[in-house]
Structure 1
Amino acid sequence: MKNEPHEKIHHHRHPEIITRLKRAEGHLRSTIEMVVNVRSCLEIAQQLQAVENAIANARKILIQEHIDHCLEEAAGHIPTDARELLKEFKAVTKFL
C-alpha cells in the first residue's frame, strides 16, 4: 500500500524557510571555495557551522509551522487547556 501524498499547503512561514535555506546554500558555496583555496581549518569550520545553523533554523521553523497549522488541521479544534501543552511541545523543538 502506497502512502498518499499530503495536500500541498503553502504556509505563511515558507518564505522564511526559503530565505534560511538560501542562506545555507550561500554559506555552503563559500565553504567549498574556502576548501578549494586552501583556507585555514578554523575559517572552514566556522563557515560549516554557519551552514549547519542556517539548516537547523529552517528545520525548526518547519517543525513549528507544522505544529501550528498541520496538527490542528488534522486533529480539529484544540481546546485552550491543550494549547498550553502544545505550546510547551513547540518550545521543546528548539532542542532538535
Structure 2
Amino acid sequence: MACDPKIANRLKRAEGQIRGILKMMDDDKSCREIMPQLMAVRSSVDKVMGLVVAENLRRCLDEDGTQHDEKLEEALKMISKL
C-alpha cells in the first residue's frame, strides 16, 4: 500500500509531537503538561487508522468493480472520523 501524502503528513506531525513529548519529559515537565500532548498524539494516530481503513475499503471495492454510492461515501466519512 503506497502511502497517501495526507496520511504521511499526519504521521510526520505525530512523530514531531512525540519528539516534543520526549523533550518535555527530559525537561522534567509535569504530568499535567504532558498528558494533553499524549492525548493529541493518540487522537492523531486514531485518525490515521480511520483513514487507512477507509482507503483500503475504497481500493477493495474498486478492485471488485463495485461503484461507490452516496451511502458508501457517507460510511467512509464516518470511519475516517474515528
Out of 61, 79, 86, the residue aligned to residue 72 of structure 2 is 86
Larger Rg: 1
Aligned residue number for residue 59 of structure 1: 49
| Deviating 4+ runs (over 4 angstroms) | none
Q: Whole-Å Cα distance in 2 between the matches of residues 62 and 40 of structure 1? A: 34
What displacement does 1:95 show? 6.0
What displacement does 1:94 show? 4.2
What displacement does 1:19 show? 0.4
Aligned residue number for residue 26 of structure 2: 36
The answer to whether 1:77 aligns with 2:69 is no
Q: TM-score, normalised by structure 1?
A: 0.69
% same residue: 33
Aligned residue number for residue 27 of structure 1: 17
Q: Whole-Å Cα distance in 1 between the matches of residues 67 and 41 of structure 2? A: 39
Unaligned ranges ≥5, structure 2: none
Amino acid at match of 1:66: N
Aligned partners of 2:21 and 2:34 also within 8 Å: yes
Q: Deviations over 1:19-65 (max 9, x none)?
A: 00011100001111111111121110011012112211211111111
- What is the root-mean-square deviation in Å for CA atoms of aligned residues? 2.1
